[in-house]
Amino acid sequence: MKEAEKFLRKLEIHKGKVAVLTGAGISTSSGIPDFRSPTGIYSKYDPEKLFGLDNFVKNPSYFYNFAVEYLFVMKEAKPNSTHFMLKELEKLGFIKGIITQNIDMLHEKAGSRNIANVHGSLKSGHCLSCGRVFSLEEMEKRSLESTDRVARCDCDGLIKPDIVFFGETLPEREVKMAYDMLENSDVVVAMGTTLAIYPVGAFPQIVLKRGGELVIVNGGPTSLDSVASEIYRVSLEDFSKRVLDMLRKTESE
């Protein structure tokens, strides 16, 4: 596979000045269901009812039934070769870090350090009334113990997982981390994302505007293919394994 060689050469030239942007496509082989494909979550659950904040407050059972079916089980998921490749690339100083739209915590599990979770993560939640913070395990326990599946605080307030709902602003600290990475990078690599979701889909512009490059690694077309300097239309799993093999070879040399 020549693509992996070419990709690594690119990273070598810009070593330490590369930010990676990841999306749902890198986690599907870990069994994480995607939202937008024809058989994805949105074919079964209405996105507005699910992630509209007003709807959540009005009818939290709808969200929590979905959470029991899809979200709480994500904690059992294991990182795949793409997550491990990115961890390795960070460890070896090739990339600055990862900006992810995924809420599945698989980059953390793989051992990556510098991660901006710009759509939040499942790690925690908080009470919409008193602000008390809950772990994923506590949210799940409270949800499963309640007759309507809704996780509630001791104050009877509604617990909302710290994932970004429609219309909510992205978490400030995470966005700041993302901007720090992008403003100091010559290359942004978009992996497993169609770059169709705003505002994250516009992040590559930060690098492009300063004369940097966009490199795309994705199974299908993306919104920004026309402005990318390199496009790797590959199976992420195979591509990542090949890159990992090459990294291990150079490490042992």
Catalytic residue numbers, as ranges: 119
Shortest reach from residue 131's CB to Zn ion, in Å: 7
Shortest reach from residue 156's CB to Zn ion, in Å: 7
Q: Interface residues with Zn ion (CB under 5 A)?
A: 127, 129-130, 132, 153, 155, 157
> Hey, CA dihedral for 14, 24, 198, 61, is it positive or negative?
negative
Residue 129 vs residues 10, 121, 126, 157: alpha-carbon distances, Å: 49, 20, 9, 5
* Choice between 57 and 130, CB closer to Zn ion: 130
DSSP annotation of 195 reads: S
Provide the β-strand partners of residue 149: none
Contact 203, 178 (CB under 8 A): yes
**β-sheet with 133-135: strand ranges across:** 133-135, 120-127, 159-163
* Choice between 128 and 246, CB closer to Zn ion: 128
* Choice between 151 and 224, CB closer to Zn ion: 151
* Choice between 21 and 153, CB closer to Zn ion: 153
Contact 217, 232 (CB under 8 A): yes
Shortest reach from residue 158's CB to Zn ion, in Å: 9
Contact 212, 185 (CB under 8 A): yes
DSSP annotation of 33 reads: P
* Choice between 50 and 127, CB closer to Zn ion: 127
Shortest reach from residue 142's CB to Zn ion, in Å: 11
Shortest reach from residue 7's CB to Zn ion, in Å: 48
Contact 139, 161 (CB under 8 A): yes
